Chains A and B, each alone.
Chain A
Amino acid sequence: MTTVAAEKWEEKFEMVVGLEVHVHLKTKTKIFCRCSTNFGAPPNTNTCPVCLALPGALPVLNDHAVELAIRTGLALGCGIETSSIFARKNYFYPDLPKGYQISQFDQPLARNGRIEIGARLDGSPITIRISRAHMEEDAGKSIHDRFPGASAVDLNRAGVPLVEIVSEPDIRGSEQAEAYVRVLKQILEYADVSDVNMEEGSLRVDANISVRKRGESKLGTRTEIKNMNSISGLVRALQVEFARQCAVVDAGGKIEQQTMLYDADANEVRPARSKEGSHDYRYFPDPDLPPLVIPMERIDRIRSELPELPKARRERYRREHKNLTDYDVDVLTANAAMGDYFEQVARQSNDAKTAANWMLGEVFAALKSTNQSIEHFTVRPADLAALLNMVRDGVVSHSAAKQIFGKMVATGDRPTAIAERDGLLKVSDDSALVKWIDEVFSEHPAEAERFVGGEKRLQGVLVGYVMKQSKGSADPKRVNQLLAERAAK
């Protein structure tokens, strides 16, 4: 319904979006203390004097968080500042123990990045600029619906390291917003800096959205939408807010700059109760933390250690495996582990196209039906490659290979062992084949008589019967030869 409402305006108005994405960095401990970042621990157990903001406690920066934040910035094409400043963002809320959040303000760690989120019809890339990526600490979690008449606070999350990635308002429309988040997630996953799990809150998105009449270049007044828990929620929230703003502007009204909350159940955006836009956060440099100074050599080292990113990998696959389609490449590079698996199978079977076909067919289906991830898949890439080599070498038939694969998924056993145990190796021993042919001839005497009598077109039917009799293990080539010999008699 909302989609229809949004579509109605699309010819006349353009949606302009900038996204602020918060991602948890994959550190074992918090950004300013040594508490665990483990998700799902009992409330308030991952806490200490520092993250509880007890009197006298002081922050000490976690160097691994810095490492991952630099890697994040570099993966997004940003420049890394050799000196950046932690600042205090002051506001009162029970899940913010110090009464301020340590963040970075006018001197962030990383600036001026860009990512490609797709291509236009003419093939030119759609590039979204990233204005900055900065480090900060997460707040705790307020729980308002668990205890009647009271709110509860869980400070396990307080102090978990975050990078906030702020895009320029370069995103046009909810489809691009979706693509941006997906591409961003993919890059962060490849860079191995975050779990990017929206359900667990390790990736959160706030959207700044404005509308303008098509053809206008001036930006309209924006609103900020918060509280979107999924990519589909982001898309719906943008569409709902787009339609709302269009209706206001179309009627000659003005958009009020404010913070909106998205209600997924009602599929509505509503103004936040407290007008956050009017907050004065009184930022100032945190005197407890010296400037974050990063030597150029460290930046260079992290750059040189940066894992291959999705775009580079896609280009390499296209270059190295010319018989793969664009679709194959996109699916195989959806995440780094999938591509790693594919590459091992392709290398050890020396046949990228067949490896890709198996990945997209059997492997995906098996992962889905057994609810496994590729990282922990019961079938090792070397074993899948061995199976493909058995098919190529004529040791097993294609249909037998599918049976073997099913058993590999279930047991993790090696394909040769399964084939031998279950008698799925191709049988080309004449005595066994002759026995099966004899059995077929006695079960189907009419067809056998006609075939021997010269009706050659029945050969295929008879081969099929033999294959069935042998449960797929007969070597069809030899069966054909033996049958041809009988007809010639």
Chain B
Amino acid sequence: MTDVLELPASSLQMAIQAGKATARRAVDASFDRMRDVGAGSGALNILLYQDRHDALARAIECDADSAEWQARPLNGVPVVVKDNIATSVMPTSCGSRILEGYVSPYAATAVQKLTAAGAIVVAKSNMDEFAMGSSTENSAFGPAKNPIAPDRVPGGSSGGSAAAVAAGIARIALGSETGGSVRQPAAFCGVVGVKPTYGRVSRFGLVAFASSLDHVGVFGKNVDDAALGLETISGLDPLDSTSAAEPVPSFRDAAHGGLTGIVIGKPKEYFPDDLDPRIRERCDAALDRLKSLGAEVRDVSLPHTKLAIEVYYIIAPAEASSNLARFDGVRYGCRVDGDGLGAMYEATRSNGFGAEVTRRILLGTYVLSAGYYDAYYRKAQQVRGLIARDFAKVFSSGVHLLFTPTTPTTAFPLGSKADPYEMYLSDIFTCTANLAGVPAMSVPIGRIDGLPVGGQFIATHFDERQMFVAAFALERALGADALK
């Protein structure tokens, strides 16, 4: 066996169980890979923290002669966790100066579920500060680079996790989404990225950016890895009042599902006239494959899509301005003293937050201010309701899934988007699913000039399984074509 990480996570677990591989070897392979690709600062800069010592200690536990442990679905599987998801081993700094070196006394529910299933957290990944960005250039610890093309961004804000999976450091990684921060970097890095239904995965331990839009999401090297990761972390959590009591089906079992009789909607708003023709062509090719697998493709419309970015950039900053108030230098994280309490707050927060975070806090404070609340926040919530209704209407008209491009472009060069608004537009096809709370995922559907292109499936609330059926089928049908 050359590289245990070439195995899908489920196969690695079985190999360890069968005595053909060890967790220790998997962890060693992961750390070797980090070194070989230059995952740390100075090279790709996709990982912020690694703890080989702790990972090996856990690997030894996973290799222990216990049939019960060996049967755990992720026993011995290395995973990477985004830096805004609390782990009790490495720091949880959200890519920000203000939390530099902060170690959480508890682990997020999603992380606890992964480790309870036998997974080994090997690293915390780089990200846009507090998940605000679409390129992982807004990290206080320097930009991350795309392992497929190091002059390009890996996307963001979960760029580090997407890149880690693309680089072969782990088969499964956790990310977070507020407007597309898993799906967009998954598309840019050529991996699978899933944003589940709002409420499917507990947010407990995910450092809040915009609570009503935040999701924990999963990256997988392939669809099976993503399905395994998601089914492990899903389910009701008594520590998150917004988590749902919906039953969690096996997403991996969706591999056995077929597409006969499945109606896939092609929303015209996601295929605008000015869409890059090469992306349109990859999407149409994917739709043809889906048709050949028995699906019916139907043109549909989600008329309020064009308002999504504006709505998103009112609601997300509004919630962020409140969520980030706790970073005040009083209890944890960095504190910069000043002359008096007000000066301490100002110095700490001015020093601790980067430009994009500061911009969004100011924007959010403004839209919630007396006299502006109705015009901005209340109106944005109303339009959000219309966007959600667009999805509800389509899904109640006999359409099972939607298929769209994940992003309007492929990975762009580092430093190429200096204008924040231009950066915001890279989430134009993804942020609608966050606003509506519906599940969505990005799968690789081909390449343009060597750069990956992602296709997006969107399903109705709590129907991730349907999405996985299509993703498994498309992945099988495309085979090596997904890399062309």
Q: A284 near B322 (CB under 8 angstroms)? A: yes
Q: Which residues of B contact A55 (CB under 8 A)?
A: 86, 92, 94, 99, 102, 104, 207, 326, 332
Q: Which residues of A contact B206 (CB under 8 A)?
A: 56
User: What distance in Å separates the Cβ of B158 from its nearest Cβ neighbour in chain A?
Assistant: 16
Task: Say yes or no: is B319 at the interface (Cβ < 8 Å to chain A).
Answer: yes
Which of A88-96, A304-312, A359-367, A409-417 is the contact stretch? Answer: A88-96
Q: B325 near A92 (CB under 8 angstroms)? A: yes
Q: Which residues of A contact B450 (CB under 8 A)?
A: none
Task: Say yes or no: is A61 at the interface (Cβ < 8 Å to chain B).
Answer: yes
Which of B12-20, B37-45, B224-232, B235-243 is the contact stretch? Answer: B235-243
User: What distance in Å separates the Cβ of B76 from its nearest Cβ neighbour in chain A?
Assistant: 27
Task: Say yes or no: is A277 at the interface (Cβ < 8 Å to chain B).
Answer: no
Chain B stretch 62-90: residues in CB contact (< 8 A) with chain A: 85-86
Question: Which one, B94, B238, B241, B341, contacts A94 given CB within 8 A?
Answer: B341
Q: Which residues of B contact A57 (CB under 8 A)?
A: 204-205
Q: B373 near A284 (CB under 8 angstroms)? A: yes
User: What distance in Å separates the Cβ of A291 from its nearest Cβ neighbour in chain B?
Assistant: 11
Q: A56 near B205 (CB under 8 angstroms)? A: yes
Closest to B93 in A: A55
Closest to A86 in B: B241
Q: A56 near B108 (CB under 8 angstroms)? A: yes
Q: How many residues of B sit at the interface, in one of the four size bands?
A: 35 or more
Question: Which one, B92, B212, B370, contacts A287 given CB within 8 A?
Answer: B212
User: What distance in Å separates the Cβ of A138 from its nearest Cβ neighbour in chain B?
Assistant: 17
Q: B211 near A288 (CB under 8 angstroms)? A: yes
Q: A99 near B328 (CB under 8 angstroms)? A: yes
What does DSSP make chain A's interface, helix, strand, loop or mixed? loop
- The CA-CA distance from A94 to B328 in the complex, in Å, is 8
Q: How many residues of A sit at the interface, in one of the four size bands?
A: 20 to 34
Question: Which one, B210, B239, B345, contacts A60 given CB within 8 A?
Answer: B239
Q: Which residues of B contact A282 (CB under 8 A)?
A: 321-322, 365, 368-370, 373
Closest to A284 in B: B368
Q: Give the one of B102, B208, B369 with max A CB within 10 A.
A: B208
Question: Which one, A53, A90, A288, contacts B241 given CB within 8 A?
Answer: A288
Task: Say yes or no: is B203 at the interface (Cβ < 8 Å to chain A).
Answer: yes
Task: Say yes or no: is A290 at the interface (Cβ < 8 Å to chain B).
Answer: yes
User: What distance in Å separates the Cβ of B311 from its nearest Cβ neighbour in chain A?
Assistant: 15
- The CA-CA distance from A378 to B238 in the complex, in Å, is 45
Chain A stretch 43-60: residues in CB contact (< 8 A) with chain B: 49, 52-60
- The CA-CA distance from A54 to B104 in the complex, in Å, is 8
Q: B326 near A58 (CB under 8 angstroms)? A: no
Given A98-B326, A99-B325, A284-B373, CB of A56 within 8 Å of CB of B345:
no
Q: Which residues of B contact A287 (CB under 8 A)?
A: 210-212, 242, 319
Please encode chain B, from 270 to 307, with 1 for each CB lying within 8 Å of some chain A CB and 0 for all others.
00000000000000000000000000000000000000
Closest to A99 in B: B325
Task: Say yes or no: is B472 at the interface (Cβ < 8 Å to chain A).
Answer: no
- The CA-CA distance from A374 to B369 in the complex, in Å, is 52
User: What distance in Å separates the Cβ of A228 from its nearest Cβ neighbour in chain B?
Assistant: 25
Q: A280 near B211 (CB under 8 angstroms)? A: no
Q: Which residues of A contact B435 (CB under 8 A)?
A: none
Given A55-B86, A94-B341, A153-B330, CB of A60 within 8 Å of CB of B238:
yes
Q: B331 near A284 (CB under 8 angstroms)? A: no
Q: Which residues of B contact A289 (CB under 8 A)?
A: 241-242
- The CA-CA distance from A88 to B107 in the complex, in Å, is 26
- The CA-CA distance from A288 to B241 in the complex, in Å, is 7
Q: A97 near B331 (CB under 8 angstroms)? A: yes
Question: Which one, B105, B203, B373, contacts A54 given CB within 8 A?
Answer: B105
Closest to A153 in B: B330
Q: Which residues of A contact B102 (CB under 8 A)?
A: 55
Closest to B341 in A: A94
Q: Which residues of A contact B325 (CB under 8 A)?
A: 90, 92, 98-100
Q: Which residues of B contact A52 (CB under 8 A)?
A: 331
User: What distance in Å separates the Cβ of A434 from its nearest Cβ neighbour in chain B?
Assistant: 83
Chain A stretch 70-113: residues in CB contact (< 8 A) with chain B: 88, 90, 92, 94, 97-100
Q: B104 near A56 (CB under 8 angstroms)? A: yes
Please encode chain A, from 268 to 296, with 1 for each CB lying within 8 Å of some chain B CB and 0 for all others.
00000000000010111011111000000
Question: Which one, A53, A58, A61, contacts B204 given CB within 8 A?
Answer: A58
Given A280-B369, A287-B212, CB of A53 within 8 Å of CB of B322:
no
- The CA-CA distance from A336 to B92 in the complex, in Å, is 53
- The CA-CA distance from A61 to B242 in the complex, in Å, is 11
Q: B326 near A61 (CB under 8 angstroms)? A: no
Q: A290 near B242 (CB under 8 angstroms)? A: yes
Closest to B330 in A: A94
Q: Which residues of B contact A53 (CB under 8 A)?
A: 326, 331
- The CA-CA distance from A98 to B207 in the complex, in Å, is 12
Task: Say yes or no: is B132 at the interface (Cβ < 8 Å to chain A).
Answer: no
Chain B stretch 229-279: residues in CB contact (< 8 A) with chain A: 238-242
Known: A55-B104, A56-B86, A58-B203. 17 other contacts (CB 8 A): A55-B102, A55-B326, A55-B332, A56-B85, A57-B205, A97-B326, A99-B324, A99-B326, A99-B328, A100-B322, A280-B369, A287-B210, A287-B242, A288-B208, A288-B241, A289-B242, A290-B242
Pick 14 A–B contacts, CB within 8 A, sort by A: A55-B104, A55-B326, A57-B205, A58-B203, A58-B241, A60-B240, A90-B368, A94-B330, A94-B341, A97-B330, A282-B373, A286-B211, A288-B211, A289-B242
Which residues of A are in contact with B by a Cβ distance under 8 Å?
49, 52-61, 88, 90, 92, 94, 97-100, 151, 153, 280, 282-284, 286-290
Which residues of B are in contact with A by a Cβ distance under 8 Å?
85-86, 92, 94, 99, 102, 104-106, 108, 203-208, 210-212, 238-242, 318-319, 321-322, 324-326, 328, 330-332, 341, 345, 365, 368-370, 373, 377
- Nearest 5 CB-CB pairs, A to B? A99-B325, A287-B212, A287-B211, A282-B368, A56-B205
